[in-house]
Structure 1
Amino acid sequence: MPPKKKGKGKAKKGKKKKSGEGNELEEKYRRSTLDVTVLKEHLVLRRDVARQAQACSQELQTRLSTLEHKLGAEREDRRDINADLTRQYKTMQTEMGVKVHQLEIEVSKLQQQLTLCQEALQRERESGEQMVLEKDATITELQGKIDNMETDYEKILHDTLDSLLSRLAEKRLHWQDESTELQLEHKERLLDFGLNPLDI
């Protein structure tokens, strides 16, 4: 019979174990329910965080897209500006090259004209100096001729005056003789008429 007792004792122990296990199960269930609730709350929080993150991500994506669009537009504008500036620079460079070439041609022409003018001026100076020398020689020659003519004229004038004086002296003597003869004739005629020539 003792084995029966043993059996009974085991049965009692088994009931105790079952009630202890039930409590543990309930505790585990409560814990599990609590864990599930906590996990659900975590999930809700994470879902909210994920939604906020997704909203932020979409906003950032939109901003990034806008910024990329702006950046692309600015790059395009910069390319256009660079192309326009390059074109303007090349145009200005071409125009400047043309102007420089024209100015070089003009400078060359002006230098040629200056050279020709300097040569013409040199010829004119030499010609002027030659003319001055020729004029000086002519003036010297003419002055010598004038001096010779003056000497000749003086000589002719002196000879003429001497001749005139001698002729005047001869004529004077001649007229004095004639005058004396006329006076004598008139005296005689006055005396013939009975007049005294001294009274007249």
Structure 2
Amino acid sequence: MAPKKKTKKTAEKIPEKENELEEKYRHSILDIAILQDHIADLRRHVRGMEQKLQHERQDHRDLSRQYKTMQTKLTNKVKKLEQELSQLKEDLLSQEELSKEKRERKQVEQEKDAVIANLQHKLDNMESDYEKVLHETLDSLSSQLSVARQGWEDESTTLHQKYKELLSEFGLNALDI
């Protein structure tokens, strides 16, 4: 028997399948590139959020340093006032001057206590505001990462299913590859 000749239809189907495979391959490469760009964008976003968190931490440290400086100045001022008060006590000779000095000292201590209470209140407010901002930032970042992770998992599942179907169309088993 003579070998069978290929018909025109069979010869046309082979390039069509090759073209179709090449088109699917190019589409897959584009999908991969898009996903890689998306991952890179998400990584940049995460880095940005980490930098923002670093800045927030640095701001908190700066505020703490400012508070400590103010507290040191206030302590020094209080010590100076107390020294002046002691010196005035020593200089006073009469009971009337001594009682006047006692009244002034009491007033200074009340002002000092009021200033300290005010500063402590401000510090407490600053700490709670900082904690609130930090928690909101972390919650937002966590939420965004969760959404991104779910999206990646969904896309991954979709891609795996798509490629599994493509392989099965070509008669290949995805587990064998």
The TM-score bracket by the shorter chain reads: 0.3 to 0.5
The structure whose Rg is larger is: 1
TM-score, L = length of structure 2:
0.37
Normalised by the length of structure 1, the TM-score is: 0.34
